[in-house]
Amino acid sequence: MFPNDTVQLEPSLRLLTTQTPGLHVGGKTALAWRGVRHNIGPREKLSLWGDHSIRLPGWFSERFPASYVARCLFDTKLTPGYAIGSIPESPRGPPVSEPERALLELLSEVGMRQGIEEARNIMESVLSPRMEVLGNLLKHCPSVKVVRLCVQWAEELGLSWAADARAAAGPRGKGRWTNRLPDGTTLVLKP
C-alpha cells in the first residue's frame, strides 16, 4: 500500500488465501455474494472458512468484521477445493464457496453462530441447486446434523429438490438426532 490508500476487501482476502491454504469465503457470506440472501445487514460479519485453525490478522479484523471457521465439514475423499471458485463479477477475486457448499456450511453453523429461523429463510431461497454437486457434498459430509437438516428442511419447505437430496444423503443412522442449542431450544432431526 501507498500512504493514504484504503485497504480493500478483495485484495486483502486474496492476500490471506496465499498465507492460509484452503481459506475461502463460505456459508452465509458466500450465499449472499452469489445472490442468495435474506435480510443482510449493512455490516454483516464475513464468514470465512479454512482447513487450519488460524487467527485472523488484526489489521484485517479491524477493517472487516469476520468470523473464521476451521472445521472439516467433508471427509478426505472429497477433492480439496471442491465447489469453491471465484464469483462471475470478480473472476480474480478470492475463492468463494459455490451455493451448494455454502448451504451446507451455513447449516453446520445452526445453533452456534447461526439462528434457526434465518437459516431456514435462506435455505428456502436456494431454489435450484446443482444436484450432482449437492449430492456429492452430502455423500462426503459425515455430519449427521448437516445432512439431516438439509434433507428435513428441504422436505418441510417443499423444495423441488428435496427427494433428490434424500436419495443422495442415504441413510444416516437410526433414530432421532437431538441437540439442545445455546439459546435453550432443542433441535430434533428425524432419520
Cα separation of 141 and 147, whole Å?
7
Strands 46-50 and 84-85: unpaired
**Per-residue confidence (pLDDT) for residue 37, from 0 to 100:** 80
Q: What is the pLDDT of residues 64-107, one digit of tens each?
A: 999 999 989 999 999 999 999 999 888 889 999 999 999 999 99
- The predicted model gives 127-139 an average pLDDT of 95
Whether 120 has a pLDDT exceeding 90, the answer reads: yes
Whether 56 has a pLDDT exceeding 80, the answer reads: yes
**Per-residue confidence (pLDDT) for residue 41, from 0 to 100:** 59
Environment class of residue 64 by beta-carbon count within 10 Å: exposed (0-12), middle (13-18) or buried (19+)?
middle
Cα separation of 30 and 117, whole Å?
18
What is the pTM for the complete model shown? 0.91
State which amino acid sits at residue 170.
Answer: G
Strands 46-50 and 96-97: unpaired
By the 8 A CB rule, do 22 and 43 touch?
no
**Per-residue confidence (pLDDT) for residue 39, from 0 to 100:** 65
